[in-house]
Amino acid sequence: MFELETTAVDCNARAGRLTTDHGVIETPIFMPVGTQATVKAVEQRELEELGAQIILGNTYHLYLRPGEEVLSTLGGLHKFMNWNRPILTDSGGFQVFSLQELRKITEQGVAFSSHVDGSKHLFTPERVVEIQRCIGSDIMMVFDECTPYPATYDYAKASMERSVRWAARCKEAEEYTMPRYGHRQFLFPIGQGSVYEDLRRDCMKHLVDLDMPGYAVGGLAVGEATDDMYRIVEISTAEMPVHKPRYLMGVGTPENILECVERGIDMFDCVMPTRNARNGQLFTTKGKMNLRNARYRLDEKPVDEAIDSYASRNFSRAYLRHLFNVDEILALQLASQHNIAFYLWLARTARQKIVAGEYRQWKRQFLEEYSSNSF
Amino acid sequence: MFELETTAVDCNARAGRLTTDHGVIETPIFMPVGTQATVKAVEQRELEELGAQIILGNTYHLYLRPGEEVLSTLGGLHKFMNWNRPILTDSGGFQVFSLQELRKITEQGVAFSSHVDGSKHLFTPERVVEIQRCIGSDIMMVFDECTPYPATYDYAKASMERSVRWAARCKEAEEYTMPRYGHRQFLFPIGQGSVYEDLRRDCMKHLVDLDMPGYAVGGLAVGEATDDMYRIVEISTAEMPVHKPRYLMGVGTPENILECVERGIDMFDCVMPTRNARNGQLFTTKGKMNLRNARYRLDEKPVDEAIDSYASRNFSRAYLRHLFNVDEILALQLASQHNIAFYLWLARTARQKIVAGEYRQWKRQFLEEYSSNSF
């Protein structure tokens, strides 16, 4: 499934190719988040135009709406949303465990009430694999607990150990079921263990024993210090097989992504580009920009000439600022397109620099420029 | 400015070409409404793709936001919103007169308070032309009162006579000012007179005396019976010069448009396609469809195969229904694109049928099919 092309000489950054039946993904890669069968405010053809190679879906949300009957009848998520490139699905663990008041956890699984209508449901590792078979994602994730932060050592240990047992059950469920739409589905397990190094190492060792096609690091970007995140990523990647893809879940800022690429991560997802876009915050090669700011009222410059997208190059900051100011939907569309274009540019450029042997140097220069400006 | 190509033999339907410095418009035409410098939820490149030949802007809204300084600095509305085809601007009369509590009307003009921040403003015929010079629309509209319905004969007469006087002042203001961005701007007057035939005739005769490049019918689709609308349109077009374009403001449903094409109207605008789209109501060649309806839950068919647009042909009704059901922005985007595609198809097909000498026959068949289905 994964072919390692280049490893940097002066750090752990890697360039690779991940092959699915819906196409090849060049890593490092950023995966736009399409929780409910759409990347918010962006059309599928626009995602293709922007160069998105893979997008995310969410098992919990898709299970509730549109639900398995619709997905199954319409031929799976790819066909349902008319997206023919790869899809990865979150297992729903993060969402189910976030339903503080609504859930009951046992060794068997998690009983919860829908945030939509209060109806009762049970997620087990087996059930979550079954749902992802119905969705038809190219990469399925195991059902785990995204350990909250902060967590005591004892809580983190028990939670991690349960996640490991659930990962093994997911793997078994995968082996006893078949893909439904004629394309392969890969299952990745997720490392947990909070900020405790020995738990993280133990967890990853257990998961590596399961011999899965790729490995994820979960439970980060949940409130811990940035240095803790980087330290845990380092520890986790050190335990991971070199020739399999590595996915850091839910991370993060442009800085986070570049630092974790340096530490050996291949795949990223985050709602930040689309969510921040809808709040008027744009990521640019010169730093972050708040488009609601009055300083852009008469600014004729495009958002970012360095980013080659319709939204980034064809409209003035003054026009985008106006659209946000009068609450127009087009503001959300153009800002989301730009931010996704920026994140994809970031991952693509990181890859080029790794291949060219200039990654760390470029990263340093880029972050200097990116952080020194405040718009 | 206008070249009449064909007139139907069995009715007053016409096909023509309206030439502006931003391009030629083939009539009959539907003009999508872009009140605040954007057609809601639709990108400018998508409007081009859909075949929109001209769009509308609104003087009142653009005057308040982004305002004249921004529009002027950014080079006018075309450049500001990156739209290089023709633009027509409403005069703002409709909006200002709608501010029931906020306005004071004199012979001079209308004093009103902004619906945005309560700030005080004065619109006079001269000022409204000046603002439209700043906007740079290809077709400017005179400042008038869109007479409310119902109106007494006396109110309608006084209101119409003031609108005629204001139209003359607008024409004078136009003659004493210059276009600001190097392209021509045409000024159209607006017929009023409520549902009173003699007032409508008188009004149009006065306006025809002003010798303007095109003529509009205003004050319809404000609550009057449909038959009254058609009757007033007939009376109005009978008074209008044959070799000038005729614009029916704010109308309407697909039926309304076809009936008024038959009565000699060339140009239409209406918020219906975009507003209804945002509520989940789609116009199709088989009738109206409410996409929020549960009956579409498993419907694999596209919205309308007869309409050649990205939104109309590439997504199932089940997918669109899901997007509305979970309040996703993409629902608004795709539905708006489809409805605009439908309205543009309607005007384009009307034109083809007029040229082919089959207009009335086609109209009858189309409306039979369109009205007999309920989705």
Do A343 and A244 sit in the same domain of this protein?
no
Q: CA-nearest residue of chain B to A39?
A: B330
pLDDT of the residue at A96:
87
> Residue B180 CA to chain centroid, in angstroms?
24
Kindly state whether residues B94 and B205 are assigned to the same domain.
Answer: yes
Site of tokens 């950023």: A30
Are A255 and A304 found together in one domain? no
C-alpha B213, offset from chain centre: 17
A:90-149 residues touching chain B, CB 8 A cutoff: none
Rounded-to-integer distance, Cα B1 and Cα B16, Å? 10
- Is the domain of B191 the same as that of B150? yes
Q: Mean pLDDT, to the nearest integer, of A11-24? A: 98
Query: Is B48 part of the contact surface with chain A (CB cutoff 8 Å)?
Result: no
pLDDT digits (tens, 9 = 90+) for A210-230: 999 999 999 999 999 999 999
Are residues B32 and B95 located together in one domain of the fold?
yes
Is residue B275 situated within a structural domain?
Answer: no
Residue A275 contacts B, CB cutoff 8 Å: no
CB-CB neighbors (< 8 A) of A38 in chain B: 323, 328-330
Average pLDDT of chain A is 96
Token pair of B320 as six digits: 């669109």
DSSP H or E run through B168: helix B153-175
Task: Report helix, strand or coil for A161.
Answer: helix
* Tens of each residue's pLDDT in chain B, 375 residues: 999 999 999 999 999 999 999 999 999 999 999 999 999 999 999 999 999 999 999 999 999 999 999 999 999 999 999 999 999 999 988 888 888 777 888 999 999 999 999 999 999 999 999 999 999 999 999 999 999 999 999 999 999 999 999 999 999 999 999 999 999 999 999 999 999 999 999 999 999 999 999 999 999 999 999 999 999 999 999 999 999 999 999 999 999 999 999 999 999 999 999 999 999 999 999 999 999 999 999 999 999 999 999 999 999 999 999 999 999 999 999 999 999 999 999 999 999 999 999 999 999 999 999 998 766
Same domain, A160 and A72: yes
Distance CA B302, CA B321 (A): 11
Which residues lie across from B369 on neighbouring strands? none
Q: CA A286, A291, A297: angle at the middle one, nearest 5?
A: 110
Minimal Cβ distance to A329: which of B81, B318, B329: B329
- Tokens encoding B46: 């998508």
Query: CATH number for the domain including B164?
Result: 3.20.20.105
Is A187 found in the same domain as A56? yes
Give chain A's domain count.
Answer: 2
Cis amide prior to A254 (ω within 30 degrees): no
Give the per-residue pLDDT at B374. Answer: 65
Query: Which phi and psi (to 5°) does residue A84 adopt?
Result: -100, 5
pLDDT in tens, A244-277: 999 999 999 999 999 999 999 999 999 999 999 9
Distance CA A265, CA A257 (A): 9
DSSP state of B302: B
CA distance A142 to chain B (A): 25
> Could you say which of A90, A202, A299, A304 is catalytic?
A90
Region class of B231: left (phi > 0), else alpha (psi between -120 and 50), else beta: alpha
Interface test with B, best of A301, A327, A333, A336 (most B CBs within 10 A): A333
Looking at the structure, tell me whether residues B44 and B64 fall in a common domain. Answer: yes
Distance CA B236, CA A222 (A): 67
Considering B219, B244, B270, which residue would you say is the last residue of a domain?
B270
- B24 — contact with chain A (CB < 8 Å)? no
- What is the phi/psi pair of residue A106, to 5°? -130, 175
Considering A220, A248, A270, which residue would you say is the last residue of a domain? A270
Three-class HEC string of A245-273: CEEECCCCCHHHHHHHHHCCCCEEECCHH
User: Which residues on chain B are in Cβ contact (under 8 Å) with A78?
Assistant: none
Calpha distance A288→A285 (Å, rounded): 8
Helices and strands (H and E) in chain B: how many: 15, 17
Task: Report the residue from B40, B73, B82 with minimal CB separation from A315.
Answer: B82
Same domain, yes or no: B79 and B168: yes
Report chain B residues whose CB lies below 8 A from the CB of A41: 329-330, 333
Our answer to whether residue B90 is catalytic in this structure is yes
Q: Please state the ipTM of this predicted complex.
A: 0.98
pLDDT band with cut points at 50, 70 and 90 for residue A31: very high
B228 and B262 share a domain? yes
Q: CB of A292 within 8 Å of any CB in chain B? A: no
B174 is a domain residue: yes
Confidence (pLDDT) at A184: 98
Q: Give residue A317's domain range.
A: 277-372
Read off the pLDDT of residues A308-359 as tens digits, 9 standing for 90 and up.
999 999 999 999 999 999 999 999 999 999 999 999 999 999 999 999 999 9
Nearest CA in chain B to A301: B74
Asked whether the predicted pLDDT for residue A374 surpasses 80, the reply is no
Angle at A27 between CA A36 and CA A356, to 5 degrees: 150
Is A308 a catalytic site residue? no
Q: Which residues of chain B are within 8 Å of residue A49 when distances are taken between CB atoms?
A: none
| pLDDT tens digits along A75-118 | 999 999 999 999 999 999 888 888 877 788 899 999 999 999 99
Contact A322 B70 (CB under 8 A): yes
Q: Which two tokens stand for residue A16?
A: 């690779």
Subunit contact A70:B330, Cβ cutoff 8 A: no
**Across the interface, which of A43, A66, A322 has its CB nearest the CB of B330?**
A43
Q: How far, in Å, CA of B257 to CA of B259, rounded?
A: 5
Whether residues B253 and B206 fall in one domain: yes
Considering the domain architecture, whether residues B346 and B211 belong to the same structural domain is answered as no
A74 reaches B (C-beta below 8 A)? yes
Residue that is last in its domain, among A248, A270, A292: A270
